[in-house]
Amino acid sequence: MEIPMNKTVKIFVILFLSITTVTVGEDGYKMPPKAIRDLVDAPLTPVVSISSDKKHILILERASLPSIEELSQTELRLAGLRINPRTNGRSRSSYYTGIVVQEIKSGRQKMIKGLPKDGRISNVSWSPNGKHIAMTVIRGSQINLYTVDIKSSKAKLLFKSPLNTIYGTPFYWLSNSKGLVTKTIISGRGDPPKLSSVPKGPVVQENLGKKAAARTYQDLLTNSYDEALFKYYMNAQVVYVNLKGKTKKIGKPGIIRRNEPSPDGNYILLETIHQPFSYLVPLYRFPILVEVLDIEGNLVHTLRDIPLAESIPIGRDAVISGPRSFGWRADLGATIYYVEALDGGDPNVVTEHRDQVYTLDSPFNVNPEPLVKLNLRYSGIQWGNRDIALVSARKWSIRRTTTWLVNPTKKSAEKIIDRSYED
């Protein structure tokens, strides 16, 4: 039987409208079956942290997955970083949802009181004496510093100024456990820069005749507006705060890469990123001024102003020339260590030794003391005491790693590990 054309059209229209109605009716997110939902939403295994005095354990509860609200927040990609402009922190950072304190000896557990109910907890750190913990808490559009007295299990907002946690370690405990050094957003900085509808001019890049290999990176700066945003969100003020919440500014505001106190608490190792910025490399290759300040913020010594590093050879073992990788000797009160390439930073240069580690005692204007020469590229150091340190080196191309047992007093070194790190 033939169906008339007008009836065919009517049937098609009815079917189309029915399908369209169903589709519109099912807009939005749909929940999966309960079995799948329970599997995905199952809580993760808690993280455990033991106090330095070995008397307490922290049980840190974790969220299974970030919420849709978190994932939908604006993200800025600047100089290799991914920034949440709402909080002035890192984008999509992991966090804890709750903290339980447990006594090791008795097994008794106590919940932390005084934390915001909707707060997202990160960067939990014990004080050196094990009597307090400090943490950052994200709530709304701010990241704040909280401390917890372990004896009372009470948390408190240490001070109201929001932190700048985009880059580097958010805070450091002083060795006496009486205070912390942190970074805050600069007060009164105003609103973020706005993109002008009229360009200021073309982006100009120069090749000054130097031969250099170039690799590609994600999320680089691309224009002057990116630079303005980068400076706005990255600028911070180093602050000392005691456990009563009293604060004191240390030094001038800047793009702070590091603000680490010395083991004796008398100095600050300060690394500040400065212009000229680059559109070719991420921020860790921007110029860095490395200084030592006293705890009052006065300049004690300038260790180095590391220049922009756009011309480093391609290779995992390529590094900048000159002093790099500054840090504090953990076993002494105020002694700097650093590393310097003996091959100009180029792994293709044939040489017996690649790197040398030096130490520099306070007041930091004396000649550095050589500690150990390494035949591979330096990759880390663990300080034990005046007679023991473990220095690691590696060669990425052959997946080789070595560890040296070094006596810092006698300046002697013995290779104790030589293996492939893929074994």
Q: What is the pLDDT of the chain when averaged over all its residues?
A: 91
Per-residue pLDDT, 319 = 96
Per-residue pLDDT, 22 = 44
Q: Which of 330, 269, 272 is nearest to 294 (CA)?
A: 269
Q: What is the pTM of this model?
A: 0.88
Per-residue pLDDT, 314 = 83
Per-residue pLDDT, 1 = 45
Annotated domain spans of the chain: 312-423
CA distance 173 to 253: 20
Share in percent of the chain as helix, strand, coil (round to 5): 10, 40, 45
Per-residue pLDDT, 368 = 96
Per-residue pLDDT, 323 = 98
Per-residue pLDDT, 212 = 61
Per-residue pLDDT, 12 = 47
Q: Which residue has the tokens 């690394």?
A: 271
Per-residue pLDDT, 19 = 47
Per-residue pLDDT tens digits for 116-161: 988 999 999 999 999 999 999 999 899 999 999 999 999 999 999 9
| Cβ pair 136, 165 in contact under 8 A | yes
Per-residue pLDDT, 31 = 87
Per-residue pLDDT, 94 = 87
CA distance 375 to 341: 11
Q: Which residue has the tokens 């990116």?
A: 226
| Cβ pair 201, 223 in contact under 8 A | no
Q: Which of 171, 181, 175 is nearest to 264 (CA)?
A: 175
Residue stretches of the chain with pLDDT short of 70: 1-27, 203-214
Per-residue pLDDT, 208 = 62
Per-residue pLDDT, 6 = 53
